[in-house]
Amino acid sequence: MAFLVSGTLQVAAQIADAQDSLGRKGKYNLQGPRMALTLSSPEVLASTVAVLEDVFQILGFESCQRREASVQEFLGELTGFRKQLDAHGGPMGCALVALVALSGQLRQPQQLVRELSRCGALRGCPKVFLLLSSTPGGAPKPRAFLTELGELCRRCSHWSLLQLLTEVFCRMAEESSGATYCPVLRSSLRGALCLGDVKPWRPKPEPSFSAQYDLSGTRAALLLSVMLDRPGAQHDVKALRDLCQALGFETTLRTDPTAQAFQEEVAQFRKQLDTHRGPVSCALVALMAHGGPQGQLLGADGQEVQPEALVQELNCCGALRGRPKIFLIQACRGGHRDAGMGLIALPWFWRWLQAPPAIPSYADILQIHVDAQGSSSSGFTPGNSDILTVYAATEGCVAYRDEKKGSDFIQTLVEVLRTDPRGDLLELLTEVNRQMCELDVLGPDCDERRKACLEIHSSLRRRLCLQA
């Protein structure tokens, strides 16, 4: 009997470990199979798909499927792929889906992303989406992107995918009409994702000086917070203000701005930076307010302002050209309250194994939008480089705040940055998301536990470390 119980516990532990693919050191273990799927419209050149398949092989995907279909048929094809993974009979290691179509055709990629998020076999596993577009009959830009990515994967296999993409973005950036354009990534990953064939005996190359932003100049921060009818907001304001000052930011605070004042304050902030004597090396803008059903910010007057408009306002700052611009957005982006995805196991496993909590439904997703100058395929402000935007909630979801301690996002962010201010900011934000995803949140208008998840949008082209 003891042997039977011991064996049962061992099997149960293996199931629990497989269900939670995130290692204890904040890195996905990728022990299961890696599956890749390419969905391409008929107009896409076969050579582009061939380059894709080469990259998949470099990244260690043993199963690479291809479907040619119209963009309208992509959802049905992806549903079939999801069912295939669920019928596999065991947990996956990682899934990669490449969506290749003519520029402007992929207008609602989030519907495709969320379809794969429903896959039980991929619960807790990274899901990577490559959104590539091309021009009819022409050589598509994605081929150059894929070539750069494949080369870097061979040389720097120990780098995380976010590190690799940042380097690729630097190489792919283009100057156009006085602005710099590059691809954009959109992440809700909870840990480091290393897809390469890591050789522990291979020496780790040191990053060059150009691989990191120079923050020796002035740093400026603008904090805009609606306090009215937002209990606990004062804790966020104090924590964030103290952090900015500790990191050497010249900080400006404005409370209870109206929707118009949001725009005016960011515009005034931009003008001050443009007239500043001496170099400006970095800007941080925190936007804290109630959110509308489509992700709008609500001013103290209840009127709406689009956060993307505020991002673009600061992007026009000449003093910040080629410099990192950080936006922290603590606001709801809709009314959905995510119950998360629980373990697929018997109830007694929970009691015996102390299984990890449910995972937010839209965690562990990485989207890479290569056609940065293209249409609205990315679903958010595309194209401009050196921008990092962090949302306290994924698209359509509630951002939580506690009246006694403030919001989980701001408080966790401050704690992580104070612990390791010299770390790479993208990696630190991934750690913030990991900690947030482990929380069970009880909202003021809900008696059931809910989950929260960050969404990070980045077009950074270098490592960003806020303290030398």
Question: Do both 151 and 223 map to the same domain?
Answer: no
Question: Do both 301 and 415 map to the same domain?
Answer: yes
Cut 0.85: pTM above it: yes
In this structure, the number of other CB atoms found within 10 A of the CB of residue 54 comes to 14
* CATH code of the domain in which 279 resides: 3.40.50.1460
The pLDDT tens digits of the residues spanning 241-285 come to 999 999 999 999 999 999 999 999 999 999 999 999 999 999 999
Question: Do both 426 and 326 map to the same domain?
Answer: yes
Q: Residue 464: is its pLDDT beyond 90?
A: yes
Q: Decide: 237 and 255 in contact? Cβ < 8 Å.
A: yes
List the structure tokens of 330.
Answer: 């603590």
Q: What is the mean pLDDT of the chain?
A: 85
The pLDDT tens digits of the residues spanning 143-155 come to 788 888 888 888 8
Q: Given 106, 133, 155, which residue is the final one in a domain? A: 155
Question: Do both 142 and 255 map to the same domain?
Answer: no
Q: Given 137, 155, 173, which residue is the final one in a domain? A: 155
Question: Do both 140 and 224 map to the same domain?
Answer: no
Question: Do both 137 and 283 map to the same domain?
Answer: no
Q: Does the residue 196 lie in any domain?
A: no
State residue 9's pLDDT score: 45
Residues recognised as catalytic: 290, 332
Q: Does the residue 227 lie in any domain?
A: yes
Q: Does the residue 48 lie in any domain?
A: yes
What is the span of the domain harbouring residue 68? 20-155
The pLDDT tens digits of the residues spanning 379-391 come to 334 468 999 999 9
Confidence class for position 446, pLDDT limits 50, 70, 90: low
Q: Decide: 260 and 304 in contact? Cβ < 8 Å.
A: no
* CATH code of the domain in which 83 resides: 3.40.50
Question: Do both 224 and 104 map to the same domain?
Answer: no
Share of the chain above pLDDT 90, in %: 61
Q: Residue 167: is its pLDDT beyond 70?
A: yes
Confidence class for position 347, pLDDT limits 50, 70, 90: low
DSSP code at position 411: H
Q: Does the residue 182 lie in any domain?
A: no
Tell me how far the alpha carbon of residue 273 is from its chain's centroid: 28
Question: Do both 133 and 58 map to the same domain?
Answer: yes
Cβ contacts of residue 294 below 8 Å, gap of 6+? 333, 334
Q: Does the residue 114 lie in any domain?
A: yes
Q: Decide: 401 and 233 in contact? Cβ < 8 Å.
A: yes
Q: Residue 348: is its pLDDT beyond 60?
A: no
Q: Residue 180: is its pLDDT beyond 90?
A: no
Q: Given 104, 139, 155, which residue is the final one in a domain? A: 155
State residue 5's pLDDT score: 44
Q: Does the residue 51 lie in any domain?
A: yes
Question: Do both 288 and 430 map to the same domain?
Answer: yes
Helices vs strands, H then E, count in the chain: 12, 19
Q: Decide: 397 and 453 in contact? Cβ < 8 Å.
A: yes
Where is mean pLDDT largest: 49-53, 63-67, 175-179? Answer: 63-67
Q: Does the residue 355 lie in any domain?
A: no
Question: Do both 281 and 425 map to the same domain?
Answer: yes
Q: Does the residue 255 lie in any domain?
A: yes
Strands (E), 272-405: 280-288, 290-291, 297-298, 304-305, 325-330, 365-369, 387-391, 401-402
From the list 437, 288, 261, 259, the residue with the least C-alpha distance to 362 is 437
Considering only residues 29 and 247, tell me which one the structure prediction assigns the higher pLDDT.
247
Question: Do both 105 and 221 map to the same domain?
Answer: no
Question: Do both 423 and 303 map to the same domain?
Answer: yes
Considering only residues 346 and 107, tell me which one the structure prediction assigns the higher pLDDT.
107
Number of domains in the chain: 2
